[in-house]
Structure 1
């Protein structure tokens, strides 16, 4: 069984074979003249032999040593070439000095969302709004102070009337009043009730609905509906938290993914840049054709373009994440690149319960069904009021009064205690207002009932979709891991073949690109799994902060680290046996029978 080894073994051989001055000069050099000569040169350097097997290679090696001794001109040329190269500064994602404890976790983001996210803060004002509306609804039962002062100072009848009193409506619709009034002067004969004795008049009044307005009235409906709003405030907060936490989780995992992809692209670029340095050294030594160096420089430029594109996406994801990650003042906090976790948490399947049990628990936790139920109760109150409005208005009224002081007139008709009691009523013959209100509220209740049924079906569908996505996403992660391991193994073998001139740079580039794409697929597969986990938790209506802390407590994944896949460290058992490789390569290149 052939095993893998990294391409960096070439650089180690060059370091032992060439002087430090030669390495400095070799930073601007053209590529090999052929794959075969490159293979011979690599074998010569690796074995430590100073004499080449053919005369051409030996002469070229002597010329290279002469160039090493006279390195000042080459250094000037190298400096000039470096000045012509566009400046490229990659973003450092995984700083060795940054420990795992200082990385940003999903729990940090959700905790910041709980404290400072504007939509959550807006939803947390709902209880105060509802309580204020409830207080306002109770304002219909406030005791009111009333008064008047009416003066007819000109005309045949000159009189003055003043009064003050309090009125209040009780919970059952009773209307109570108490007051004092005084009327002095000359009054029209048809307005003699306005006149009082010298000391004025004290009066108590009462009005009690007997039919319409007795069991329920608009004031009580307003209080009941405002009370329901206070209960609906908590589900509104939970709804805002669930929606915001799902968006925050998606933004966080997108940021982690973008950072890992950026590191993978930088890794691919590092391969080309390292190989380019090796090519320059050998071209300076006259052992490499310039065409391969030009091709490698093209690969470097292309891969730098991909790195820049990945940087753009990574920075954009950081800006988006800052909407949910905020400082103590509540301002958006753009996370630095060093906060990106080195690895995703381990993909751990949550405990599976029966679908019916999960659905029942989700329906009890999710805020949407509760909000619809509260709306139905509010409309039912309007319907009860409309049914009560069909009844005729029949009110019991009563009034007692007593004049005080000396008689105002010679008839002395104001001094006795007076009692007035009776009923008054009213009924609209068509009763269209009440009947129309009943019809509309009944239809609204049916609408809300259908919306509630649809919402329950949607919750069931969301749970099914999330369960399915979570299960299949974990399988995709497993397959992506297998694919990446195979891609790295293939790349290592073909890199070994490239060192021996059996494949060209173009084919090696294809394999490197394929391995890089496979690594990115594994990164995206892990992101999809955690996105599915966030959807699953929201579908079940679980507390976002508790779930985020559970995810943050998961151990790091044992999958290959992002940005450390292609540049993996060589293990003792990973050295490829040349004899086994040659035998296997002959089988690989043999024509099919």
Structure 2
């Protein structure tokens, strides 16, 4: 029969033998915390001179029955349970060899977006499209080469006619033509003008609108509208950059958040796994009840499930971020887990500026009002053209011609210099086309004006919402920090009480879960602040890359580092005074009178 002191020596020897295995379950950066936990449990073993409790002993028959149910060959129940545990490999989020300088920043994502994001590249083609349309619009003023060759080779009148010339429309609607023609053979008496002298005829022509088409015409409207499109190309690029950068920022902060939450869930799991190794030693030493070991195994399984769910969300966020983060050839680049920053940047209060000044600057920078203004100018050109179409068409016509060479007929009626001048007009009596166009363009201008007014109101609302969200989100971060500190302090004290048998594992699990949830709330509060900051910057129309570089240059947050909350250095016994704790615990457990 072994004495209690002998049992303690055996338990301590088992602890020392199993220490490498227990420590290997945690990450390298978390080893000091695990050592602290083992030190406390070894103190519990060394101080247990009262002897093992009945509930902590396990006889050989129970071992054989448990191993028979599990179908595994092991030395005890604990080995059987461990053999049944599915293989579990957590993602290493924070590699000790990865420095802060090698982590992925928001500036890296936005810079990649500027270079390779398809929607941004698509928007950058707008200037080329607009310039091409402008060149096409100027095509209405191209010099046109015209020609014909007509032959009547059979019939009573046999003749041939050939002609060539150039025609061009000027900017003010004038039509200019110059050409040469020749007509030989016998012609019908009513078509004698087709006949020329043997050397042919040179002719110059002119047509000048006097009313409709003089001040403005469809060709000039097309040029003006195409020119406006060239100016509208830059706001379209800016709009694509603002929209894409906001989505990229949201995806980036979601990825950082998912990585931090995954790390927090792994911390919670590490607590249970480390405690499970300690429980196995204590159960073997007769210091702990087997039911506590089974309960802890249940907690391990539940927490592994949460880790797996967090891994799923983290990997999904990485896939989504790859839409904006691309390699040198423009293909999506899935960021590895080691690129996750260890901390958010510091949450800093934005400078307080006058709202009206911010709104005026935003309206000047934002692309949406500019695009609406350009659309209004284009429709105004259509309206001017419709007003001009109400006028009658009245054109000045002028033509000079001179036949060359020998006379084609004995009458010699083709050799003199000829001048034709006059006017030609036309007017639709109802003028419905022009009046209808005026009505529709006037209504379109009103529509666009209201859209512009609404857009300005929306920009003002976006700025107000973003400012409000930014201010309140910073307060939420502060309160989440206070809540986390209180949760960690409560967990420290109840862990101290658990080591002394004053609370059970179920209550300790509730406190650990609560501390984990509080840590996640702090992480999400920081994410919400940076999402609000991205919305605020977009609402003001600021350059996304400049703002991303400013955020990336912020110092790391002084809030608790990921991986240093639940697994932080616990308070030693000389900090929590046992006598003071006992007195406080008696007050805590005393019945309310």
- Relative to the length of structure 2, the TM-score reads 0.90
What CA distance in whole angstroms lies between the structure 1 residues aligned with 2:523 and 2:356?
33
| Per-residue Cα deviation, 1:502-540 (whole angstroms, up to 9, x for no partner) | 111111100000000000000000000000000000000
Q: Flag the 1:189–1:251 CA change in 2: closer, same or farther, 3 A.
A: same
Residue 160 of structure 2 aligns to a residue in which SS?
A: strand
1:448 counterpart residue number: 448
| Per-residue Cα deviation, 1:45-99 (whole angstroms, up to 9, x for no partner) | 3559798899999999999999999999966987665443210000000010100
Q: Contact 1:166/1:178 (CA < 8 Å) preserved in 2?
A: yes
Q: How does 1:534-545 map to 2 (within 5 A)?
A: 534-545=534-545
Deviates more, 1:17-26 or 1:88-97: 17-26
Q: Contact 2:10/2:285 (CA < 8 Å) preserved in 1?
A: no
Q: Contact 1:33/1:290 (CA < 8 Å) preserved in 2?
A: no
Q: Contact 1:28/1:280 (CA < 8 Å) preserved in 2?
A: no
TM-aligned CA deviation for residue 289 of structure 1 = 1.2
What CA distance in whole angstroms lies between the structure 1 residues aligned with 2:572 and 2:3?
10
Q: Flag the 1:549–1:66 CA change in 2: closer, same or farther, 3 A.
A: closer
Q: Contact 1:27/1:277 (CA < 8 Å) preserved in 2?
A: no
What CA distance in whole angstroms lies between the structure 1 residues aligned with 2:357 and 2:160?
78
Q: Contact 2:110/2:545 (CA < 8 Å) preserved in 1?
A: yes
Residue 18 of structure 1 aligns to a residue in which SS?
A: helix
Residue 207 of structure 1 aligns to a residue in which SS?
A: strand
TM-aligned CA deviation for residue 570 of structure 1 = 3.9
Residue 179 of structure 1 aligns to a residue in which SS?
A: strand
TM-aligned CA deviation for residue 564 of structure 1 = 2.0
Q: Flag the 1:65–1:83 CA change in 2: closer, same or farther, 3 A.
A: closer
Deviates more, 1:579-588 or 1:238-247: 579-588
What CA distance in whole angstroms lies between the structure 2 residues aligned with 1:55 and 1:159?
128
What CA distance in whole angstroms lies between the structure 2 residues aligned with 1:6 and 1:542?
73
What CA distance in whole angstroms lies between the structure 2 residues aligned with 1:219 and 1:548?
45
Q: Contact 2:197/2:415 (CA < 8 Å) preserved in 1?
A: yes
Q: Flag the 1:98–1:56 CA change in 2: closer, same or farther, 3 A.
A: closer
What CA distance in whole angstroms lies between the structure 1 residues aligned with 2:113 and 2:5?
46
Q: Flag the 1:303–1:42 CA change in 2: closer, same or farther, 3 A.
A: same
Q: Flag the 1:80–1:300 CA change in 2: closer, same or farther, 3 A.
A: closer
TM-aligned CA deviation for residue 575 of structure 1 = 3.0
Q: Flag the 1:60–1:32 CA change in 2: closer, same or farther, 3 A.
A: farther
Q: Contact 1:21/1:71 (CA < 8 Å) preserved in 2?
A: no
Residue 183 of structure 1 aligns to a residue in which SS?
A: strand
TM-aligned CA deviation for residue 286 of structure 1 = 2.0
TM-aligned CA deviation for residue 562 of structure 1 = 1.7
TM-aligned CA deviation for residue 129 of structure 1 = 0.2
Q: Flag the 1:503–1:232 CA change in 2: closer, same or farther, 3 A.
A: same
1:41 counterpart residue number: 41
| Per-residue Cα deviation, 1:179-214 (whole angstroms, up to 9, x for no partner) | 000000010111100000000000000000000000
Q: Flag the 1:224–1:11 CA change in 2: closer, same or farther, 3 A.
A: farther
2:218 counterpart residue number: 218
TM-aligned CA deviation for residue 349 of structure 1 = 1.1
Q: Flag the 1:31–1:109 CA change in 2: closer, same or farther, 3 A.
A: closer
| Per-residue Cα deviation, 1:431-479 (whole angstroms, up to 9, x for no partner) | 0000000000000000000000000000000000000000000000000
TM-aligned CA deviation for residue 25 of structure 1 = 16
What CA distance in whole angstroms lies between the structure 2 residues aligned with 1:444 and 1:399?
43
Q: How does 1:485-504 map to 2 (within 5 A)?
A: 485-504=485-504
What CA distance in whole angstroms lies between the structure 2 residues aligned with 1:128 and 1:377?
21
Q: Contact 2:11/2:45 (CA < 8 Å) preserved in 1?
A: no
1:150 counterpart residue number: 150
Q: Flag the 1:477–1:420 CA change in 2: closer, same or farther, 3 A.
A: same
TM-aligned CA deviation for residue 576 of structure 1 = 1.4
| Per-residue Cα deviation, 1:204-249 (whole angstroms, up to 9, x for no partner) | 0000000000000000000000000000000000000000000000
1:243 counterpart residue number: 243
Q: Contact 1:376/1:448 (CA < 8 Å) preserved in 2?
A: yes
Q: Contact 1:27/1:78 (CA < 8 Å) preserved in 2?
A: no
Q: Flag the 1:22–1:440 CA change in 2: closer, same or farther, 3 A.
A: closer
Q: Contact 1:467/1:536 (CA < 8 Å) preserved in 2?
A: yes
Q: Contact 2:53/2:287 (CA < 8 Å) preserved in 1?
A: no
TM-aligned CA deviation for residue 415 of structure 1 = 0.3
Q: Contact 2:134/2:227 (CA < 8 Å) preserved in 1?
A: yes
Residue 421 of structure 1 aligns to a residue in which SS?
A: strand
Q: Contact 1:51/1:58 (CA < 8 Å) preserved in 2?
A: no
Q: Contact 2:67/2:80 (CA < 8 Å) preserved in 1?
A: no
Task: Please list every run of 5 or more consecutive structure 1 residues that lacks an aligned counterpart in the other structure.
Answer: none
Aligned length: 593
What CA distance in whole angstroms lies between the structure 2 residues aligned with 1:63 and 1:28?
34
Aligned residues: CA RMSD: 6.4
What CA distance in whole angstroms lies between the structure 1 residues aligned with 2:498 and 2:4?
13
Deviates more, 1:20-29 or 1:541-550: 20-29
Is 1:357 the counterpart of 2:361? The answer is no
Is 1:11 the counterpart of 2:11? The answer is yes
Q: Flag the 1:500–1:276 CA change in 2: closer, same or farther, 3 A.
A: same
Q: Contact 1:26/1:281 (CA < 8 Å) preserved in 2?
A: no
Q: Contact 2:11/2:281 (CA < 8 Å) preserved in 1?
A: no
Residue 4 of structure 2 aligns to a residue in which SS?
A: coil
- Relative to the length of structure 1, the TM-score reads 0.90
Q: Flag the 1:153–1:63 CA change in 2: closer, same or farther, 3 A.
A: closer
Q: Contact 1:2/1:577 (CA < 8 Å) preserved in 2?
A: no
Q: Flag the 1:527–1:4 CA change in 2: closer, same or farther, 3 A.
A: farther
Q: Flag the 1:22–1:256 CA change in 2: closer, same or farther, 3 A.
A: closer
